[in-house]
Amino acid sequence: MGAMLDRMEPLLAAMPSVRSPEGHVHFKNKMMWTVAVLILYFLLTNVQIFGLSSESLDWLGMYRALLAGISGSIVHLGIGPIVTASIVLQLLNGADLLGIDTSSARGQVMYMGLQKLMIFVMIVVEAAPNVIGGFLKPDSAIALQFFGGSMATVSFLIFLQLCIGGVLIFLMDEVVTKWGIGSGVGLFIVAGVSQGLINGFFNWAAVKDRYPVGLIPRLFAIIGDGANIIEYYGLDILALITTLIIFGLVVYAESTRIEIPLAHAAVRGARGRFPVKLIYASVLPMILVRVLQANWQMFGLFLSNLGITILGKFDGQNPTNGIMYVTAPINSPSDWMWWLTDLGHPIWEVITRMGIDFFVMIVGGAIFALFWVKTAGLDSSHVAKQIQMSGMHIPGYRRNEQVLVRYLDRYIPRVTVIGGIAVGLLSVIANYLGVVGSVSGTGLLLTVSIVYRLYEEIASEQIMEMYPFMRSFFGKE
């Protein structure tokens, strides 16, 4: 594959990209860019796809908060193509099939170019089944009014709008990454989940029964009606407790770390610490696991819509039998609490589904955490090189990069796996018990962690604005 990538180098180097800043971007400017992109994102979520029928099916419904896309809008695909492209590249890079040396400037350019090319491919790959598979249906009235009844033309326009929305999300992610704070992917997830949480607390609409679906108005309505609180509010109390516990556990896990002591080789008395957090790889690998499950479910639903039911049948977007049912993720208590509702499946099938979901989340969390650490340059070799270049060393050890790598190997790989397993376990528990709003446990987990890291990054940016000399130490210039 290396030879093929060498031939593709001119194409990879010429991939469209947001221009990087030439110098330091002031903190206020970073905040302005971040807020501007966030406002643009909210505006795009309200731009509806032209020509879309009200009978369309949203197969991503259960993943909406996680993938940061709004059903029927121009950003319908959300961050799905970006994350899927990342999965493919991480698997190829983890298996050492790419043959790209990301430690060199040329290798970094090729890798970033390949990632962008893969994102554009995934935008088309994920947009096409939505139209061809009949998920997003063209409106016959619009086809008759504007295109002489040609449904194919309206379908093509829907496909084109999906692709445009996917490209816009990709470009906005680049703007935030290069000119703002954090990443666009994280920002969009926080925006989507926050909307879901606000809706879960304050929505006055009655959906599943005669009472409002929002946590607060529902409580007042039930009390005012004199109804049974346990019957009508029991699962809501469980969701609220789970939400608070997950919030506390994630904040605790983010603040739990092993600190490796460092000393400066040239400046006597100058000391520091390199923190290896319990959630060292962050919770973003959970997105990779969930997107992998979402793509598998989309594949099964696509086949089912074409009349191929060898993997299982679907009722709307929900699998009803076969392999697709037992491999479907658990998203709420109603997916597995057979004693509360009739699931229509024998208990052994429900338990099998729970076991597979548990296994995928735990093992997938550990595996993708390792891939993420290597791809993001957080593994022992990259960290050792960064420490070496900063002029720091570990007191009591020779100032040698290989010595640093061996020392860091005692902690980073083990903490990465433990953190990946812990995040997977938290995500499973949150999904099984349910959380406030239709955000899923994984979405809540991601949001709390992303917001906590944004807080740390903002604090770091403010410190470096006050003490500019620290920017060179942290590699910000």
| Burial (CB count <10 Å: 0-12, 13-18, 19+), residue 297 | buried
By mean pLDDT, which of 210-214, 399-403, 465-469 is the weakest? 465-469
pLDDT of residue 389: 78
CB atoms near residue 10 (< 10 Å): 8
pLDDT tier, 467 (very low <50, low <70, confident <90, very high otherwise): low
pLDDT of residue 160: 95
pLDDT of residue 400: 79
Calpha distance 382→28 (Å, rounded): 30
The closest of 97, 275, 284, 257 to 173, measured between CA atoms, is 284
Structure tokens at 185: 């992917």
Query: Using only C-alpha atoms, what is the Rg of the chain?
Result: 24
* 162 has pLDDT over 90: yes
Main-chain phi, psi angles of 283, to 5 degrees: -100, 5
- Rounded to 5°, angle at Cα 324 from 358 and 312: 160
Considering only residues 386 and 217, tell me which one the structure prediction assigns the higher pLDDT: 217
Residue the block writes with tokens 């060179």: 472
Structure tokens at 263: 């000393």
pLDDT of residue 265: 66
The closest of 210, 372, 189 to 280, measured between CA atoms, is 372
* Domains in the chain, CATH or no CATH each: 1-181 (1.10.3370.10), 214-477 (1.10.3370.10)
pLDDT of residue 175: 93
* 39 has pLDDT over 90: yes
pLDDT of residue 168: 94
Strongest mean pLDDT among 32-36, 234-238, 389-393, 400-404: 32-36
Contact indicator for 209, 121 with CB cutoff of 8 Å: no
pLDDT of residue 66: 75
* 243 has pLDDT over 60: yes
Calpha distance 128→371 (Å, rounded): 29
Partners of residue 52 on adjacent β-strands: 138
Mean pLDDT of 176-191: 88
Which element (helix H / strand E) includes 233? Answer: helix 229-255
Helices 229-255 and 440-466 cross at an angle (nearest 10°) of 40
Which element (helix H / strand E) includes 257? Answer: strand 257-264
Considering only residues 439 and 123, tell me which one the structure prediction assigns the higher pLDDT: 123
Largest CA distance in the chain: 80
Considering only residues 134 and 80, tell me which one the structure prediction assigns the higher pLDDT: 80
Mean pLDDT of 353-378: 87
Contact indicator for 440, 66 with CB cutoff of 8 Å: yes
Q: How many CA atoms lie within 13 A of 138 on its CB side?
A: 23
Alpha helices in 48-139, H assignment, sequence order: 64-67, 80-94, 105-132
pLDDT of residue 269: 58
pLDDT of residue 357: 92
pLDDT of residue 97: 67
Chain-wide mean pLDDT for the chain? 83
Calpha distance 467→278 (Å, rounded): 29
* 471 has pLDDT over 60: no
* 3 has pLDDT over 70: no
Calpha distance 89→362 (Å, rounded): 21
**DSSP single-letter state for residue 56:** -
By mean pLDDT, which of 32-36, 275-279, 423-427 is the weakest? 275-279
Considering only residues 348 and 462, tell me which one the structure prediction assigns the higher pLDDT: 348
Alpha helices in 397-477, H assignment, sequence order: 401-408, 412-433, 440-466, 470-473
* 34 has pLDDT over 90: yes
The closest of 237, 429, 397 to 331, measured between CA atoms, is 429
Mean pLDDT of 258-285: 76
Considering only residues 386 and 222, tell me which one the structure prediction assigns the higher pLDDT: 222
Structure tokens at 56: 């369309």
**Stated pTM of the model:** 0.80
* 132 has pLDDT over 70: yes
